[in-house]
Amino acid sequence: MEQILRPLYQERASQETTLGVILIEKREDISPITDTFDSILLIITKENETPVFTKHYTYMDKKAAMHIITEKQLHKWLLLGTNRKIVDWLFNGRVIYDRNEFMEKLKTELKEYPFYGRKIKMGLEFAKLIRRYLEGKMFFEEKNYLDAYHHMVESLHHLARLSVLENGLPPEVTVWSQVKKMEPAIYKLYEELISSDEPIDKRLELLFLASEFFIHSRTQDGSQHIREVMEKQSSWTIQELHEQEELKNYSSNLEVLIEFLIEKDLIAINGVKTKSEGIFHRYYSNKR
Per residue in 231-243, pLDDT (tens digit) is 999 999 999 999 9
33-47, 76-90, 125-139: which range is least confident on average?
Answer: 76-90
Q: Which structural domains are found in the chain, ordered by start? A: 2-112 (3.30.460.10), 115-272 (1.20.120.330)
Exposure string over 63-99, b if 16+ CB within 10 A, otherwise e: bbbbbbbbbebbeebbeebebbbbbbbbeebebbbbb
User: How, if at all, do strands 39-45 and 18-25 pair?
Assistant: antiparallel
| Residue range 200-229: mean pLDDT, rounded | 95
Compute and round to an integer the Cα radius of gyration of the chain: 23
Per residue in 238-281, pLDDT (tens digit) is 999 999 988 998 989 999 999 999 999 999 999 999 999 999 99
Residue 113 has pLDDT above 70, yes or no: no
Burial of residue 240, with CB atoms counted within 10 A of its CB: 0-12 exposed, 13-18 middle, 19 or more buried: middle
| Residue range 42-57: mean pLDDT, rounded | 94
Categorize the per-residue pLDDT at 45 as very low, low, confident or very high, splitting at 50, 70 and 90. Answer: very high
Contact 73/60 with Cβ under 8 angstroms? Answer: no
What pTM value is reported for the model? 0.75
pLDDT > 70: what percent of the chain?
Answer: 97
DSSP H/E element including 85: helix 85-92
Rounded to the nearest 5 degrees, what angle is found at the Cα of 133, between the Cα atoms of 200 and 202?
20
Contact 269/254 with Cβ under 8 angstroms? Answer: no
Query: What does the alpha-carbon distance between residue 284 and residue 106 come to, in Å, rounded to a whole number?
Result: 37
The Cα-based distances of 136 to 151, 223, 270 in angstroms read 5, 21, 30
Query: What does the alpha-carbon distance between residue 251 and residue 125 come to, in Å, rounded to a whole number?
Result: 12
Query: What does the alpha-carbon distance between residue 166 and residue 132 come to, in Å, rounded to a whole number?
Result: 20
Query: What does the alpha-carbon distance between residue 37 and residue 24 come to, in Å, rounded to a whole number?
Result: 10
Count how many residues are written for the chain: 288
- Please state the φ and ψ torsions of residue 24, each to the nearest 5 degrees: -115, 125
Query: What does the alpha-carbon distance between residue 125 and residue 80 come to, in Å, rounded to a whole number?
Result: 9
Residue 1 has pLDDT above 70, yes or no: no
| Residue range 218-223: mean pLDDT, rounded | 96
pLDDT at 116: 57
Average pLDDT, the chain: 91
Per residue in 158-169, pLDDT (tens digit) is 999 999 999 888
Helices of type H across 142-286: 145-166, 175-182, 184-195, 200-222, 224-230, 238-243, 254-263
Contact 162/126 with Cβ under 8 angstroms? Answer: yes
Residue 91, amino acid:
F
